[in-house]
Amino acid sequence: MDTGFPEKILQQHALKVTGRIFRNGNLAHAWLITGQEGTGKEQLARIMAGLLLCQAPHLDGELPRTCGTCSHCGKLSRNTHPDIHITEPDGAFIKVAQIHALQKNISYPPLEAENRAVLILHAHRMNREASNALLKTLEEPPDNTFLILTAKGTSSLLPTIISRCQVVSCSGLLHEDITDILVRQDGLEPATADVAARLSDGSLARAREMIESGLEFRDIFFKFIVLPPARRFSLFFDLSSMMSKDADRFMTAITVIQSVTRDMLLVKTSGNISLFINQDLLPAIKAAAARFSEDELSEYASRLEDMERLAARNVNREMLANSLLVFWAE
């Protein structure tokens, strides 16, 4: 576990609020950190755990931090501290057996630190049995034990779990922050990082997905929509195959196509270049937008949302991909 903050703090506002709570000493025994994937929920949870276990945390500054020098911080940095317990999905779910094992492990007093930190990552993936089992611990946590849950949102959690936690919401990350991380930590060229960040919807994880497969799809997709009509079908099935390869790639492709459709609608309605996502391909977007009316693009944008829902229900991805690409091929 990192205690010195060598990486950029993704949720600075939430951490500032956390620092004030720690200074006041009015700590809830259970926290729920929510936000979309890739916005820094787990980083914030681990920082909070470090503050709970550190012998001399620095709480007076703008951002609270651990001392980085005590024995607890040393063990946290080596991921060997016996008083931090991390539970995350085993396969698709967090299962009841995992919660029972956790409850057994924390039934004794902390071994070394004054407090114990329990991290339950991706808590929205607890099955019902696991959720019900966790309720007992949330209602009556062992002394000096603090639970920190992370989840994409609250809709998949039992209301009784939410009501027993202090909720911290993580907002989407700034485009500039994602770009900076991709350049400094991932070694990307600034131009590539900028495009991935604009396509990320505030999520570092999604930005990295875009780098892995989304930008390649975007390049081929733009070739597809600017080719003369007689030549478009030469790329039609290549794009369909890329989209339907797996669920993640389908959703990534949908994100790319949504960004293009949105930019084309901006050409029709605003023209404000600063609002465009695909700024590096603006001439191609303007040329392609001329082929469609505003109503056609608006209707297609609604279809994209429908296709997302159908894909989530495991409707045949190849059929969905072909249906979406026909719009651009005609």
Task: Give the pLDDT of residue 4.
Answer: 46
Task: Give the pLDDT of residue 3.
Answer: 40
For residue 88, what pLDDT band results from cuts at 50, 70 and 90? very high
Report the candidate in 196, 143, 137, 139 with the shortest Cα–Cα distance to residue 163: 139
- Is 185 a residue whose pLDDT tops 70? yes
Domain boundaries, the chain: 12-169, 175-329
Tens digits of residue pLDDT in 283-321: 889 988 999 999 999 999 999 988 888 887 888 999 999
DSSP string, 209-264: HIIIIIHHHHHHHHHHHHS-HHHHHHHHHHHHHHHHS-HHHHHHHHHHHHHHHHHH
Task: Give the pLDDT of residue 315.
Answer: 86
Tens digits of residue pLDDT in 32-47: 999 888 888 999 999 9
Tens digits of residue pLDDT in 234-271: 889 889 999 998 888 898 999 999 999 999 999 988 77
Q: Please, are residues 127 and 87 in contact by the beta-carbon 8 Å criterion?
A: no
Which CATH architecture best describes the domain 12-169? 3-Layer(aba) Sandwich (3.40)
- Is 7 a residue whose pLDDT tops 70? no
**188 against 6, higher pLDDT:** 188
- Is 2 a residue whose pLDDT tops 50? no
